[in-house]
């Protein structure tokens, strides 16, 4: 399988090169030259397959011969080594819980897969790869954890001091080994600007093999298809496929779901749920795509003003606005509605959502009210404990830490404080 650049000004490459490059040299996103179609009996008999087998079946056509089958099998099985339960909230709505991984967010899946692929690809290199990431919280933890202990790869995470939640900070700063956390005395935008400049800097390019673990990387994007198939395994009413609602920021997660649908996964309809950053809902309504500065909301992992993966969704629908609208609905939910939904779902169904999941729940509920007889699920993209302020305020209850993070609480935070300047980052990287 070859991947071409959506900017069409760079050569097509295989999965290995697409993973190592991240972005094409012409700054375009990589896109598969064709979308594989899965066998009918795989879809119909999905309940007979294990999680690992499903992952392998879905990803193998994309990886091609760049990773041998037995290695890919190991990578796939390590990637999905936790649960993906589909839990009923009420008669119509279920929650696909994607927060049972090591950092309690769906990004664990993409990060674990990508890190292992990259680890495989750099085997035997005499130069180490340095993965450089700026994070506002969720991405960094998943990436750091995914790459933790992977040979040949060093990870440097930049995060804004005092601006990530306590659990997120522990996830970033307690790993050690090949993971270094730089605590930047500034905002997330500073971290992002520092990383951007690093990738453009000739001295650093010469001294280090730098790569990003950005969400546009094909090795992070493609494995996100897996759990849509796990949901289909658990879906009771196979004659009536689900409406799938995805809380969206950069639109990588929902784009993977749409790709799975193109490969044969039964789906009634997709809903992209956004917060006040409603660029895509506006686009679907008006036909005009207008990127703008992101505004801060309660569901801050979705505070994106120019969703990077949306161009891939357009490509899947061959740039045809009508066919896109035929399969994708989008809705924007306010912070006030998010809080109300968190509280009412907890009160009425004893189910605790996180702010991102709450955005998804309400968008789905609104859609189903207009489309009687259908049922669906939302992707619960993070555990509520990652966003304790919003959740505890609304429910009036302290959230219990899941066992998987209890262990973090006693660990010592290790970070290196740096000024919010590129010079400070460069000095650290060259030291």
Residues that bind ligand PLP (CB under 6 A): 105, 107, 138, 215, 247-253, 301-302, 356, 381-382
For ligand PLP, the closer CB: 154 or 335: 335
Residue 387 beta carbon to ligand PLP: minimum distance, rounded to whole angstroms: 8
Least distance to ligand PLP, CB of residue 241, Å: 22
Nearer to ligand PLP, 359 or 429 (CB): 359
Nearer to ligand PLP, 164 or 418 (CB): 164
Nearer to ligand PLP, 112 or 356 (CB): 356
Tell me the two tokens of residue 303. Answer: 């505070």
Give dist(CA 158, CA 216) in Å, integer: 18
Q: Return the C-alpha torsion angle 308, 107, 408, 384, nearest 10.
A: 90
Please, what is the minimum distance in Å from the beta carbon of residue 246 to ligand PLP? Answer: 7
Which ranges of 371-416 would DSSP assign to H, the alpha helix?
Answer: 388-395, 403-406
Our CB check for ligand PLP shows the closer of 140 and 152 to be 140
Least Cβ distance, residue 371 to ligand PLP (angstroms) = 23
Least Å distance, CB 157 to ligand PLP, is: 15
Question: Does the active-site annotation cover 318?
Answer: no
CB of 212 to ligand PLP, least distance (A): 15
User: With respect to ligand PLP, which residue has the nearer C-beta, 38 or 302?
Assistant: 302
Determine the Cα–Cα distance for residues 346 and 408; give it in Å rounded to an integer.
27
Cβ at position 132, least distance to ligand PLP in Å: 18
Distance CA 175, CA 141 (A): 10
Specify the pairing of strand 269-274 against strand 179-184: unpaired
Q: 351, 364 in Cβ contact below 8 A? A: no
Spatial CB neighbours of 252, under 8 Å, sequence gap ≥ 6: 110, 215, 216, 220, 221, 224, 308, 309
Residue number, 98 or 204, with CB nearest to ligand PLP: 98
β-pair partners for 94:
88, 377
Ramachandran region, residue 49 (left: φ > 0; alpha: ψ -120 to 50; beta: rest): beta
- Provide CB contacts within 8 A for 22, sequence distance 6+: 211, 212, 213, 214, 216, 217
Secondary structure class of 22 (helix, strand, coil): coil
275: closest CA among 343, 336, 188, 340?
336
Q: Among all chains, which residue has been given the structure tokens 């993409």?
A: 110
Residue 142 and residue 370: Cα distance in Å, rounded? Answer: 36
The sign of the CA dihedral 147, 148, 151, 154 is: positive
Q: Compute, in degrees rounded to 10, the torsion defined by CA atoms 338, 341, 347, 349.
A: -130
**Residues forming the active site:** 107
């Amino acid at each position: 399988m070859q991947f071409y650049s959506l900017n069409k000004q760079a050569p097509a490459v295989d999965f290995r090169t697409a993973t190592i490059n991240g972005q094409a040299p012409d700054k375009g996103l990589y896109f598969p030259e064709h979308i594989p179609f899965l066998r009918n009996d795989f879809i119909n008999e999905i309940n007979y397959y294990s999680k690992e087998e499903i992952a392998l079946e879905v990803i193998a056509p994309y990886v091609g011969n760049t990773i041998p089958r037995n290695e890919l099998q190991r990578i796939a099985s390590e990637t999905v080594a936790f649960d993906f339960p589909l839990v009923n909230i009420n008669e119509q709505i279920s929650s696909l819980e994607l927060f049972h991984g090591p950092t309690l967010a769906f990004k664990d899946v993409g990060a674990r897969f990508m890190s292992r692929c990259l680890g495989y690809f750099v085997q035997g290199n005499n130069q180490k790869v340095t993965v450089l990431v700026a994070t506002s919280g969720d991405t960094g933890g998943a990436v750091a954890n995914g790459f933790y202990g992977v040979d040949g790869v060093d990870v440097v995470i930049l995060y804004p001091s005092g601006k990530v939640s306590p659990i997120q900070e522990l996830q970033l700063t307690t790993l050690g080994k090949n993971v270094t956390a730089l605590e930047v005395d500034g905002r997330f935008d500073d971290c992002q600007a520092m990383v951007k400049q690093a990738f453009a800097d000739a001295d650093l390019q010469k001294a280090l093999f730098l790569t990003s673990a950005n969400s546009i990387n094909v090795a992070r994007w493609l494995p996100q298809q897996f759990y849509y198939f796990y949901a289909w395994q658990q879906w009771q009413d196979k004659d009536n496929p689900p409406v799938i609602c995805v809380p969206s920021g950069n639109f990588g997660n929902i784009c993977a779901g749409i790709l799975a649908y193109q490969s044969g996964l039964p789906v009634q309809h997709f809903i992209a749920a956004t917060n006040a950053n409603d660029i895509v809902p506006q686009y679907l309504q008006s036909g005009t795509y207008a990127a703008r500065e992101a505004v801060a909301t309660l569901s801050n992992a979705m505070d994106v003003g120019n969703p990077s993966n949306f161009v891939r969704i357009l490509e899947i629908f061959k740039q045809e606005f009508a066919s896109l609208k035929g399969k994708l609905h989008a809705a924007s939910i306010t912070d006030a509605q998010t809080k109300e939904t968190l509280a009412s779902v907890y009160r009425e169904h004893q189910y605790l959502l996180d702010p991102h999941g709450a955005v998804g729940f309400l968008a789905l509920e609104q859609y189903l009210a207009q489309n009687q007889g259908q049922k669906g699920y939302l992707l619960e993209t993070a555990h509520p404990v990652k966003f304790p302020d919003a959740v505890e305020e609304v429910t009036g209850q302290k959230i219990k830490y899941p066992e998987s993070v209890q262990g973090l609480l006693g660990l010592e935070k290790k970070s290196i404080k740096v000024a919010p300047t590129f010079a400070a980052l460069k000095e650290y990287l060259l030291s």
